[in-house]
Amino acid sequence: MFKLGNVKKSCYNKFMLSNKNILIGITGGIAAYKICELIRMYKKANANVRVVLTPNALNFVTKLTLQTLSNNEVYVENFTIDEYKPEHIALTESDIFVIAPASANTISKLANGICDNLLLSTACAFNKPVLVVPAMNTNMWNNNFVQENLSKLTKCGYHILEPDNGFLACGTNGVGRMREVEDIFEKTLEILSGKLKGKKILITAGGTKEKIDPVRYISNSSSGKMGLALADVAFSMGADVTLISTFKVEKPYKNVLTETALEMEKVVKENIEEQDCVIMTAAVADYRVKEVSEQKIKKEKCDNLTLELIKNPDILKEISSLKTKAIIVGFCAESENLLENAKIKIQNKGCDYLVANDISRKDIGFNSEENEVYILDKNLNIEHIEKNTKLNIAKQILERVFE
């Protein structure tokens, strides 16, 4: 009944690389022009991008183009940054160094510790992941010295994204064509998304809708933004995410659409056994209509309408009692006595963590891009996360749960 949404291999969203600093190194090769599109992709994914070039790279792409796309200064020569740190040290303060296209010359110098330009000096001092994306003539690619140098880089922990077989700028067909920018983007994401790699996380989001008749329903003010933020951030950290929501989203992770509390309960229970963590952010209606009218209720026929409501299942409490391997994280929204009510709720529900937020405030919570929460654990230890964007709060929640 409930089908998973389509998962697009190369789909990306604007939060995948939030707070990530990406350094791009461009060497002298015709494929350098393609890096302009890669920069745009990184920027759309909310990354901060800086670019360093070899002098020969300027024969294929201009500094002005790269500065405009990256919204940052572009570096070619040493000793031009107006800081106390030399360029090759200042530029290492990034999360990943992507060298694309990487020429045979640069690859060979990297493998032998030669630092005769800014890009090479930066790589030598870089102690975080380095992704090398070669592009060169087929004979150069097959050269024994080049292959030996690539092996040396691999043994030293460098990531190599090997070239494709195709038509080359020199007019020949063969291996040496730089991989497509979508492949480079996905490889970057894969490298940076290691914290939750291999973890399966199920997240519920949105307010459930309990039918009265074919056109009317009982619901609440939940926008689902907190749950969506958690799903986006969990995916960006490498998790295998399943979002069970009351709204449709186009994301690169699985999305199961539900409407009522009973539907959401069914899907959660069907999928919980394989999960490492379940995060219940959805605002599940406490009650549903006992008898749903099959036809639209006509207001002309009744001046007063009385609905008999019956309790919905307490999904959080039920899945907590199943004692699966999954870490169970609940959410509670309170308008008064926030911490007192949260302490009672986590003991009553039996979940591992409870995230409490104050819905009486107009500047956070429902329909807002920001929130401020308290995280409680089973021992009633409390951690306060001050007001911030829901994306940043989602990141702190996930880090706290999986620390």
Q: Which residues are catalytic?
A: 170
Is there a contact between 381 and 219 (Cβ–Cβ < 8 Å)? no
In sequence order, the β-bridge partners of residue 97 are 23, 130
Report d(CA 362, CA 134) in Å as an integer.
52
Question: Partners of 375 in the beta sheet?
Answer: 355, 383
- Count Cα neighbours of 150 within 13 Å in the Cβ-side half-sphere: 21
Helix, strand, coil percentages for the chain (3-state, nearest 5): 35, 25, 40
CA distance 249 to 258: 12
Report how far residue 270's alpha carbon sits from residue 267's, in angstroms, rounded to the nearest whole number.
Answer: 5
Sign of the alpha-carbon torsion through 265, 228, 226, 257: negative
Sequence-separated (6 or more) residues with CB below 8 Å from residue 340: none
In whole angstroms, give the CA distance from residue 347 to residue 341: 10
Structure tokens at 145: 């010295």
402/277 Cα distance (integer angstroms):
9
Amino acid identity for residue 110 in this structure: L
Q: Locate tokens 């020949």: which residue?
A: 172
CA distance linking residue 329 with residue 278, whole number of Å? 6
Q: In whole angstroms, how far apart are CA 146 and each of 117, 131, 184? A: 20, 16, 21
- What are the tokens at 7? 């998962």
CB-CB contact of 288 with 313 (8 Å): no
Q: Nearest Cα to 332, choosing from 289, 279, 388, 263?
A: 279
Q: What span, in angstroms and rounded, lies between the C-alpha atoms of 145 and 131?
A: 20
φ/ψ (deg, to 5) at 259: -125, -55
